[in-house]
A and B are shown apart, each in its own frame.
Chain A
Amino acid sequence: MFSQNQKISGRQTFRLLTYDLLGLGTLMIPPFLARDAGTDGVFCIFLGIVAGVLYLKMLGVVLGDMNGSYPAYLEEKMGAFFGKLATCCYGIYFVCLAGYAAYLFTDAVLKHLLREESFYLVLAVVLALTAYGIWSGVEGRARVYEVLFWILLLPFFLILFSSVWDVRTDYWTPVFVTNAAGVWRGTYVVFVFFSMLTLVLFLGSYVQKKKALIKAGKMALFFCGGIFVVLYLLLVGIFGSPALAEMDFPAMIMMSTVQFTGGFLKRTDALMFGIWFFTLYAFLSSTAFYGQSALCHAFFGEKAAGAKKNGCIVAALLAAAALAILFYRDNTSIAVFENIIGYVATPFLVLIPALLAVAVKFTGRGAKRAAALVMLCIFCAPLCGCNTAELEDKNFPIELAVSDIYDFGASFTNEENGGNKLADYSHLKVVVLEQDFYENERAMTAFLELLENKLEVPRNTYVVVAEDAKKIVGLEEKLGQSAGTYIEEMFENVTYIKKMAYPTLGTLYQEKKNRSETLLVPYLVVLDDKPVVDHYMVWKRGQAAGEIDNEMALLSAFTTNEMDEYTLALGSGEQVRLFDIKNEITFGTDKKGKRKVYVNVNCSGEVLYDEDLTAHNKQRLNEAIYSYMNQLARTARLEYRIDLADSFKKLGGGAREWYLDYRDTPQDYEKEVQLVYRGEICWVNF
């Protein structure tokens, strides 16, 4: 009755394949690529897409020749024995992938949603859902993804869009620095994920029109490829490629840093986990479904049903569960598995269709024998070689005073902050570090490593330094609100420095690996019973590197466009306000061939408190301002070894030759390269 709806449509196929590619790809491709190709990873994605298109073309040839199911076609082309063997291999491959997906899914749930829950319980729930999905058939699953498609992707795109403001484009450079082997590895990694498109062969017997299948595959490839490119650029831009390479599930970590305007949702990572919940489920249920179906076909034939089919489903799920538990208990097995996928399974996924495509072109008994022979070679080749606590039973520390690592460890495990309640650090706003602690490299390394593993601690927690951290935290009564909230509001609402200029735990974690930036950590003192910023502590290359006064810090923020407006008093007595700041940094040499970093000042200016503006001229004011800035920058460089423009991270994109010279000796860069301020200020009151 009605139209035939036992088979899936082109749109359903596209959405099904997109979900299959998206879940694992968004989680795993960025760190793999950052490791192999760094900032050039984005080109690897493009090359991976090209490889995927070629792969789909090849699959199209096979699909065009296929009449029934893919396993039946394998038997027809390779003979019963090798056909069954190949089907069996596909089955094992999919079941192993299902095990891997189940492990990742459960691991992600435990890390991001249920930190204290049992792995086995979550795994059981996940597999029960998978079983339900498999029993509901391809159409049932296809309908689920068809419904969910935009419901999940629209918020995902919204989050990606919101995270654009956190991107530092300097992290995108340098490009074309990765060697050919790195680019090849990166491209291959991307292709490994796209090789899941092999599913179109198995979908052949389920779709309404075969032509739509390859079209849907291509659309899914381009759609996911586009998302991977955007996501990779965002992740590199936010974390930097060295830090990205070390992260587990960076896309989820990014979600924890993105904040919507208005602050109704403090963190969105838990909510956005829904995307990976459904996409990983899609991947898991697809692989488990095709795994059991291939194995069922190999052992019981095409028309197996009833107990045999159910038996295959149960066996496939048990095998997947066993693998997931193996990965959980023995982490080294994950690397082994990933190598098998890369070196054995992916070539298998390419070679079998390639062989069949050749057979389509050259039909006949000879081709069948040749195919069987190649199959034999392929198979011989490896031989040569429940709930925590109630809301009212929790304590939500807003600020944390840290004076030594042991004290910190104790306070972190509730003894000081929690009292008789469970401490929930998800709302931590400020960490106040005692100066001695901050300057102790070992203590700071241990502190950051400890916190980095505690995903509940927000990455956007501000970090400040004080002589007596507990005194700052103890101001709560006098302030009428918690010191953490006060300091957060001070940074975000009151000061002219943009909030992105203030270091957070996240930027400290990243800088530990990126080692390319100079961070200025506010040093707080108590004035009139209120915390105020007295000066700034410098953090370079993962450790404390002295301190600078407010004047230098403000100039640094002005130089890097991290200020809304900059007021400075000149030696000649004038006070000027610079605003609408859009400075540019360029690299060049002077007449003597000496390397210089030019800060091309681009802003509007206003002379304050001066009734007789005619007494001034723009030229003289500009000279006075640039002289002041150049002098301050020179002092910073010579006395404090600080580059106020924080220009080292821009070298890759702006001065490739310099980058190659200084990439291993950044300290020389800070010592040798002079900062020069120049440009035109657009004066509004002349």
Chain B
Amino acid sequence: MAKTQEKTQISPVLKENIEHMEQLFCVCDDIKKKELILGENQDVPCYLMFIEVAIDMGKSTLNGLLKYLRGLKREEIIAALEKNAVGVSDATYFTTIEEAGDGLLTGDVILFVDGFTKAVKIPDGGYPNMGISEADSEKVIRGSNEGFCDSVKQNAALIRKRIRSPKVKVKQLFCGSRSHTCVYLTYIEDLVYPGLLEEIERRLTDFEIDGVLDSGVLEQLSEDKWYSPFPQFQTTERPDRAAMSILEGRVVLLSDNSPVALLLPTDYNSFVRTSDDYYNRWEIATFGRMLRYVASFFAMTLPGFYLALTNFHTQILPTTLLLAFADARQGVPFPAVIEVIIMELSFELLREAGVRLPGAMGNTIGIVGGLIIGQAAVEANLVSPIVVIVISFTALCSFAIPNEEFATAFRVLKFALILLSAWLGYFGMLAGLLAILIHLANLKSFQIPYLMPFVGADLNDYEDERDFLWRLPIRKITKRPIYARREERTKLIFGKKAGKG
């Protein structure tokens, strides 16, 4: 890993600074280095550095600044720079070469002036990014369509746009000894639980890695149980979801170059909730929520359950249905378990292919795979139609889970349950479910039981039970969830009390 280096102070002699910077950024042809002369008498040499595409010279504030400095005398230039009176509000001053190098790498312009012992960072457009676009996942029918983008600053601004309070704090950290990825911890000062922020910082600084290219890396390096298929950090691409989490007292971790924010801590229930659960009426929200819970269960168990029923416990099914199942399997060359596994793998293959291919082709793959290959496989007697139905329904259930990482856990565990059910029938399935349940019961996200509020609801005086399997009317959810500090859990009050508040 990178060793702590001695820092080189910026010299009043420009040539020395140029030498240091050239040395630091040798063989960096993408970085533009320009020597200029400033001053009324053209006697003040200066040195500019910037990353080519990060600066739009036509629109840059740099032009104005240079024009201004060109009209001053040498002493006036130094004095203006000393007093930060160069007309750029967000100029940053560095005293060492290394800091100036880091400043350059944020995508801004670095200016060295002969006789001035600091480097000035002049902000500009920064690195190119996609800009704000619609979130690809977590679609909602009602609510904002804005999604996070790759720029951590823009993402933080999107949150601030929603919570315009000075109590929203953004703490900057850098992760990755080589990538120097900027990470923002965003939270509301008086809501965040005491000790939570320190714990998050501790975990983020508990490791040293060369590069962090996405928030997913931080997630995997900071979670308690790395072997668990269940994510212990929640992810979102939606600023409104992140803002909602901050209002709950959670901390949002934004990582540069990643449109995915991490929400900490989290629990099972949070993964099943969607933003529009709170924008829609409570009856609809409750119905949707229950449907998603059922879907998450079937996404994991349905194929296994089918195997257990047809191979072991046929007495459960009505006779006509059973005989229809048996008829459908006539002539299929594979045992039912192989048939189910083949179909499941085919589906996963289609999914993977659909994701990797460009948008329009991805849709085509869905049609080709789902309709044409499925139909052909049934007609060729490779699989029975009932298995196609079971697998399709399972897939549908997994799509209904709002969070992709969370849905993946169920998709993976489904294979374990298929094997257990094929081996030991319903007993195997129950044993598998029990093992998963024990695992979930022991899982915690920053000391919050993962199964909150199904377990440990007493920790928040059973308030969280107003918003789990069902979502009570908004007016009944007057308290924040367990994440917020205890004395700040009231979030809604009516009438006279509200006036007092």
Interface residues of A, Cβ cutoff 8 Å to B: 1-3, 5, 9-12, 109, 113-114, 117, 122, 125-126, 129, 132-133, 136-137, 139-144, 146-148, 208, 256, 263-271, 273-274, 277-278, 281, 386-392, 394, 396, 398, 424, 426-427, 429, 456, 458, 485
Contact = CB atoms under 8 A, between A and B. Distances in A.
Most chain B C-beta atoms within 10 Å of own C-beta, residue among A144, A256, A391:
A391
Contacts of B460: 3
Contacts, number: 164
B134 interface: no
B474 interface: no
Interface string B277-321: 000000000000000000000000000000000111111111100
19 contacts: A9-B456, A114-B425, A132-B435, A132-B438, A136-B441, A140-B441, A140-B442, A142-B455, A144-B438, A146-B456, A256-B315, A267-B315, A267-B316, A270-B316, A271-B426, A274-B430, A388-B312, A390-B336, A398-B319
Given A5-B456, A9-B456, A114-B425, A268 B316 contact: yes
Contacts of A147: 437, 441, 451, 454-455
B273 interface: no
A278 B426 contact: no
A426 B315 contact: yes
A685 B435 CA distance: 67
Contacts of B325: 391
A394 B427 CA distance: 21
A265 B315 CA distance: 8
Contact of A392 (B332, B423, B454): B332
A209 to B, nearest CB: 10
B482 interface: yes
B195 interface: yes
Nearest to A269: B315
Nearest to A392: B329
B427 A122 contact: yes
Nearest to B424: A114
Contact of B438 (A12, A133, A208, A396): A133
B244 interface: no
A396 B322 contact: yes
A387 B307 CA distance: 10
Interface string B315-344: 111110011011001101001110000000
A269 B316 CA distance: 8
A11 B319 contact: no
Given A5-B456, A136-B442, 16 more contacts: A1-B196, A1-B447, A2-B459, A5-B447, A10-B458, A122-B427, A125-B427, A140-B442, A147-B441, A266-B317, A274-B430, A278-B434, A391-B326, A391-B329, A392-B326, A396-B314
B311 A388 contact: yes
A387 B319 contact: no
Contacts of A5: 447, 449, 456, 459
Contacts of A114: 312, 424-425, 427
Most chain B C-beta atoms within 10 Å of own C-beta, residue among A5, A126, A142, A265:
A5
A129 to B, nearest CB: 6
A386 B427 CA distance: 11
B451 A143 contact: yes
A390 B311 contact: yes
Nearest to B446: A1
Contact of A11 (B330, B437, B441, B458): B458
A101 B430 CA distance: 17
A270 B329 contact: no
A267 B460 CA distance: 42
Given A5-B456, A267-B315, A387-B311, A113 B441 contact: no
Contact of B318 (A10, A117, A122, A266): A266
Contact of A426 (B314, B423, B427, B457): B314
A427 B447 contact: no
Contacts of A11: 457-458
Given A264-B318, A391-B336, A125 B431 contact: yes
B448 interface: yes
B326 A263 contact: no
A110 to B, nearest CB: 9
B116 interface: no
